[in-house]
């Protein structure tokens, strides 16, 4: 057993300072066992906790670290940049460089604006869509997460109710009314609602690769159908690519499925481990943003040069090499080996995956809708998580979260982690 004494003590102190002891809720380990690990350093695919145990990390800061921890080029670029100061609140060459790199290599967008988080990107994209269309309502899907934006913290109510209920206190009823919530993978329902509310709907927002509530992979035909319906009813389509952007390919899900959304939001990888988000669209749509147009949006630390440097170093690596096919191959191999064992043993589960994202799903069937996830299966994840931590493998502390494989995970690391995972699954099913 790996002790967690120092982490436990730090967590006690943190609970005095921060609500729940954390600065972002899932970090509190509420749905797994024990206190959260306090991490003191990361290198490559490994992290080390305050109790000096090292783990193969599949959380990777929830996605940004596609090159792994403490990547030499990224670190050097940050250090070089920070020597010249940290923030000016004025344009910098680095902002141009990152903007230029993205726009030159991403054929689905023409202009971009940098912000400081994924949430801010989504919030701004929604305002932009409303400003462009002059309409207020937004359609979102049950099972997609878009950050803690007021009008998107809405979850499906009972049955087929189109108007959801707020999933957080503090959200005015009036905001909830502007959000329509629908199940994924159901074009008929979508068209019905679009027809009925045609005059009121500004945008549909979707995670084209839903990866915040399990990995609810959609069919390409569904996403194409969604695009066609948005065009038919004059509704803007927002792809929230905060997770999928630069993850399943440089052009994210838009490129993966070859679908042209109207607005794309970015976060996570775009900042290479520092706080960056962005929203992007055609030149025409972006011309509505202040100071060119009437939709106000601003940020004191937007396009912060140090953050731009980290994003630039990361995206240069991603743009320059065949990194995506390698990541996908490694992931397929990793997932394939585990699935062989699962099938041999007849365990009622599977691993869903796309690109370098995987999800441990405690159901045999592919799941496309949030409502199909059995909450009781999360007990299995809890057991697995504890087993893996004791053996040196770190997964995000919730069964609804996906895992990420980075360029720093070597074949040997993956072989070792895979073996531990197999034994972890044996442990789960032998004790259940
Ligand atoms: C992570 C995420 C967000 C929120 O980004 P933050 O940087 O945490 O605010 C929004 N949308 C999606 C799809 C995400 O994965």
268 annotated active-site: yes
Evaluate if pTM is beyond 0.85: yes
Residue 117 alpha carbon, nearest atom of ligand 1: 7
Same domain, 338 and 224: no
The 10 Å CB-count burial string (b at 16+, else e) for 246-263 is bbbbbbbbbbbbebebbb
Site to probe by mutation for ligand 1, drawn from 243, 302, 403 as the one with most ligand atoms within 8 Å of Cβ, is 243
User: How high is the pLDDT of residue 160?
Assistant: 59
Last residue of some domain: 320, 337, 372?
A: 320
Q: What is the pLDDT of residue 264?
A: 99
116 and 62 together in one domain: no
Residue 287 token pair: 């011309």
Task: Tell which residue, 152, 101, 144, has the closest CA to residue 126.
Answer: 152
What's the 178 CA to ligand 1 centre distance in angstroms? Answer: 21
**364-399 residue pLDDT tens:** 999 999 999 999 999 999 999 999 999 999 999 999
Tens of pLDDT, residues 279-303: 999 999 999 999 999 999 999 999 9
Shared domain for 134 and 235, answered yes or no, is: yes
Tell me the C-alpha distance between 254 and 270, whole Å: 15
Provide the pLDDT for residue 20: 97
Tell me how far the alpha carbon of residue 9 lies from the centroid of ligand 1, in angstroms.
30
Which atom belonging to ligand 1 lies closest to the Cα atom of 243?
A: 15
Picking from 119, 165, 122, 173, the residue whose alpha carbon sits closest to that of residue 142 is 165
Residue for token pair 């990793």: 334
Boundary of a domain, candidates 320, 347, 372: 320
Same domain, 128 and 212: yes
Residue 147 CB less than 6 A away from ligand 1 = yes
Q: What is the pLDDT of residue 165?
A: 85
- Going from the Cα of 121 to the center of ligand 1, the distance in angstroms, rounded, reads 9
**Statement to judge: residues 60 and 90 lie in one domain:** no
Taking the CA of residue 24 as reference, the ligand 1 atom at the shortest distance is 8
The Cα–Cα gap between 145 and 126 comes to 14
For residue 152, what pLDDT is reported? Answer: 92
CATH number of the domain enclosing 403 = 3.90.1150.10
Closest ligand 1 atom to Cα of 268: 7
Distance 341 CA to ligand 1 centre (A): 33
Q: How many CB atoms lie within 10 A of CB 108?
A: 20
Q: How many domains does the chain have?
A: 2
In contact, 160 and 375? CB cutoff 8 Å: no
Which pLDDT score, from 0 to 100, does residue 111 have?
Answer: 98
| Ligand 1 lined by 207 (C-beta under 6 Å) | yes
Residue 219, pLDDT score:
98
Mark whether 77 and 195 lie in a shared domain. Answer: yes
Q: Does 349 lie in the same domain as 267?
A: no
Domain containing residue 139: CATH number: 3.40.640.10
The residue segments making up the domain with residue 377 are 5-70+322-430
List residues bridging with 139 in a β-sheet.
180, 204
- 268, 368, 369, 391: which is the annotated catalytic residue? 268
Does one domain contain both 345 and 290?
Answer: no
Q: Which residues of the chain have pLDDT under 50?
A: none
CA 11 – CA 137 distance, rounded (Å): 41
**Residue 93: its pLDDT value, please?**
98
Domain end, chosen from 320, 350, 369, is at 320
Beta strand spans in 50-160 (E): 54-57, 111-115, 137-142, 154-155
Q: Are residues 182 and 108 in the same domain?
A: yes
| 122 C-beta closer than 6 A to ligand 1 | yes
Q: What is the pLDDT of residue 98?
A: 98
Q: Specify the pLDDT at position 1.
A: 81
Q: What tokens were used for 338? A: 């585990």
Residue 9: predicted pLDDT:
98
The pLDDT value given to residue 399? 97
Task: Mark whether 226 and 249 lie in a shared domain.
Answer: yes
Decide whether any atom of ligand 1 lies within 6 Å of the 360 Cβ: no
97 contacts 310 by C-beta, under 8 angstroms: no
Q: Are residues 128 and 235 in the same domain?
A: yes
| 3-state SS class at 374 | coil
Q: Whose CA is nearest to atom 7 of ligand 1?
A: 118
Do 169 and 142 share a structural domain?
Answer: yes
Between the CA of residue 313 and those of 93, 156, 285, 304, 362, what are the distances in Å? 14, 40, 28, 14, 37
pLDDT digits (tens, 9 = 90+) for 302-316: 999 999 999 999 999
* 145 has catalytic annotation: yes
């Amino acid at each position: 057993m790996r002790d967690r004494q120092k982490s436990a003590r730090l967590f006690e102190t943190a609970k005095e300072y921060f609500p729940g002891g954390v600065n972002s809720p899932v970090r509190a380990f509420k749905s797994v066992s024990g206190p959260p690990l306090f991490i003191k350093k990361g290198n490559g695919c490994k992290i080390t906790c305050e109790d000096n145990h090292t783990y193969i990390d599949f959380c990777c800061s929830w996605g940004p670290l596609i090159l792994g921890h403490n990547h030499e080029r990224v670190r050097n670029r940050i250090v070089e940049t920070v020597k010249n100061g940290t923030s000016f609140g004025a344009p910098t060459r680095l902002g141009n460089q990152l903007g230029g790199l993205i726009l030159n290599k991403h054929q689905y967008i023409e202009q971009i604006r940098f912000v400081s988080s994924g949430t801010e990107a989504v919030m701004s994209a929604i305002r932009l869509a409303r400003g462009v269309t002059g309409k207020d309502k937004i359609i979102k899907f049950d099972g997609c997460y878009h950050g803690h934006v007021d009008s998107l913290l809405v979850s499906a109510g009972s049955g087929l109710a189109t108007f959801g209920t707020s999933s957080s206190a503090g959200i005015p009823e009036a905001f909830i009314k502007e959000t329509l919530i629908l199940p994924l993978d159901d074009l008929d329902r979508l068209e019905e609602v679009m027809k009925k509310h045609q005059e009121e709907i500004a945008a549909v927002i979707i995670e084209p690769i839903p990866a915040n509530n399990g990995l609810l992979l959609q069919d390409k035909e569904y996403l194409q159908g969604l695009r066609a319906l948005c065009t038919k009813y004059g509704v803007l389509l927002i792809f929230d690519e905060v997770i999928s952007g630069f993850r399943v390919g440089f052009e994210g899900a838009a490129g993966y499925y070859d679908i042209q959304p109207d607005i794309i939001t970015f976060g996570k990888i775009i900042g290479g481990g520092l706080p960056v988000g962005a929203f992007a669209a055609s030149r025409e749509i972006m011309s509505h943003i202040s100071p060119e147009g009437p939709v106000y949006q601003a940020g004191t630390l937007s396009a912060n040069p140090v953050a731009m440097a980290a994003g630039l170093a990361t995206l240069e690596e991603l743009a320059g090499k065949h990194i995506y096919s390698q990541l996908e191959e490694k992931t397929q191999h990793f997932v394939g080996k585990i699935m062989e064992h699962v099938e041999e043993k007849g365990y009622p589960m599977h691993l869903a995956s796309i690109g370098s994202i995987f999800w441990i799903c405690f159901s045999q069937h592919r799941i496309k809708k949030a409502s199909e996830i059995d909450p009781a299966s999360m007990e299995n994840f809890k057991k697995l998580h504890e087993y893996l931590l004791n053996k040196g493998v770190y997964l995000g502390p919730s069964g609804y979260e996906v895992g990420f494989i980075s360029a720093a995970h070597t074949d040997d690391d993956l072989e070792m982690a895979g073996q531990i995972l197999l034994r972890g699954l044996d442990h789960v099913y032998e004790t259940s």
